[in-house]
């Protein structure tokens, strides 16, 4: 049985923050990443939580990420916010961009945020969640190093490229939040199985010849299986268009991996669309989303996307999170 230790969310944030700073990250860049790490652990997405802190720290130390970077904001058009992440952490660039995006969307009705020269933004839904809390419908897209092959091919050309959409609710929290990758499973889950020496289910990844495999190491050298076959490839291409081609970020085929120390900064991108639903629906949005959700809730056994994360989040706020002891040891080793 895997040994675990229970930490509060505040302890997870503090540990993450101190490790990032110890590795050479500025406090301004470490704080939003530490906050996101705690929120991710609360949601039960351990593959994107504390387990990533040693990787982030390694990437600061090897130069794959500039821990001292300062995002640069520009406004090409009234409803367009552009941020050059300057090869720093995506979280700082997104925070900086949101400061301009949210008021622009409220004033214009819709606004977009284009981020280039960025990095892994973690759980994409964490960011769209915040747009919904601001009363906006938030759409998010982020590209990643190539790991999905085109239909009929075997050589990766696009990343797992997730998209997310969050709709505001009457209580100031998202009424609906969808967050999914273009692959059957996030690549970080396959990496997690590889680290733990566990096989992966059939359908998660393919070998170098495009055949199914249960060996995570073989899958990581091959390609990720697209969700829904050719439809998943289509989603990945859509995200690549928005998050890379539209932002001036590096295409996944040219981006260095989010793991390991080779290749320098990946310089990937993010793209967000923020919409004021009051400006588009004439006040009908609240009733529309409420009726849609009720149609799902009224069915016995039915659930909404994000229900699992939401229920775990509530428990974590009072009971903390059981964290893998080996992961904790790696993070604590950074602090000496």
Q: Which residues are catalytic?
A: 47-48, 189
Cβ-based burial of 73 (10 A; exposed 0-12, middle 13-18, buried ≥19): middle
Q: Which residues of 199-236 are buried (b: 16+ CB within 10 A; e: fewer)?
A: ebeeebbbeeeeeebebbebbbebbbbbbeeeebbebb
Q: What's the token pair of residue 217?
A: 């190491």
Q: Give the separation between CA 273 and CA 108, rounded to whole angstroms.
A: 12
Choose among 158, 162, 119, 117: nearest CA to 140. Answer: 162
Choose among 163, 185, 182, 186: nearest CA to 232. Answer: 182
Work out the number of other CB atoms within 10 angstroms of the CB of residue 107. Answer: 12
Q: Give the separation between CA 143 and CA 19, rounded to whole angstroms.
A: 26
Count the helices and strands in the chain (H runs, E runs).
12, 12
If phi over 0 gives left and psi between -120 and 50 gives alpha, with beta otherwise, what is residue 152? left
- Dihedral Cα 290, 291, 293, 296, nearest 10 deg: 160
Q: Give the separation between CA 247 and CA 85, rounded to whole angstroms.
A: 11
- What's phi and psi for 261, nearest 5 deg? -110, -5
What sign does the dihedral 260-4-331-313 (CA atoms) show?
positive
Q: What's the token pair of residue 160?
A: 């797992």
């Amino acid at each position: 049985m895997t040994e675990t230790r229970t930490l509060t969310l505040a302890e997870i944030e503090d540990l993450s923050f101190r490790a990032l700073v110890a590795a050479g990250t500025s406090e301004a860049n470490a704080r939003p990443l530490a906050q996101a790490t705690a929120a991710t652990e609360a949601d039960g997405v351990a593959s994107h939580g504390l387990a990533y802190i040693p990787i982030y720290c390694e990437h600061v130390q090897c130069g794959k990420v500039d821990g001292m970077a300062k995002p640069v904001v520009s406004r090409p058009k009234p409803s367009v916010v552009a941020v050059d992440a300057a090869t720093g952490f995506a979280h700082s660039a997104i925070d900086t961009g949101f400061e301009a995006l949210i008021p622009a969307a409220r004033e214009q009705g819709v606004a977009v945020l284009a981020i280039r020269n960025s990095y892994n933004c973690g759980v994409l839904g964490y960011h769209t969640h915040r747009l919904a809390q601001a009363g906006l419908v938030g759409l998010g897209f982020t590209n990643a190093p190539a790991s999905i092959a085109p239909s009929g091919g075997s050589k990766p050309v696009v990343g797992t490229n997730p998209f997310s959409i969050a709709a505001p609710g009457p209580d100031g929290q998202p009424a609906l939040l969808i967050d999914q990758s273009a692959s059957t499973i996030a690549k970080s889950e396959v990496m997690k199985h590889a680290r733990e020496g566990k096989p992966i289910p059939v359908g998660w990844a393919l070998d170098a010849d495009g055949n199914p495999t249960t060996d995570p190491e073989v899958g990581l050298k091959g390609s990720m299986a697209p969700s829904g076959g050719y439809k998943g490839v289509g989603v990945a291409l859509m995200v690549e268009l928005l998050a890379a081609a539209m932002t001036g970020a590096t295409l996944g085929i040219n981006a260095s991996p989010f793991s390991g120390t080779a290749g320098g900064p990946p310089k990937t991108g993010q793209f967000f669309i923020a919409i004021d639903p009051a400006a588009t629906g004439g006040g009908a949005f609240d009733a529309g989303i409420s009726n849609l959700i009720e149609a799902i809730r009224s069915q016995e056994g039915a659930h909404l996307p994000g229900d699992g994360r939401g229920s775990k989040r509530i428990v974590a706020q009072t009971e903390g999170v059981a964290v893998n002891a080996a992961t904790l040891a790696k993070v604590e080793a950074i602090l000496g």
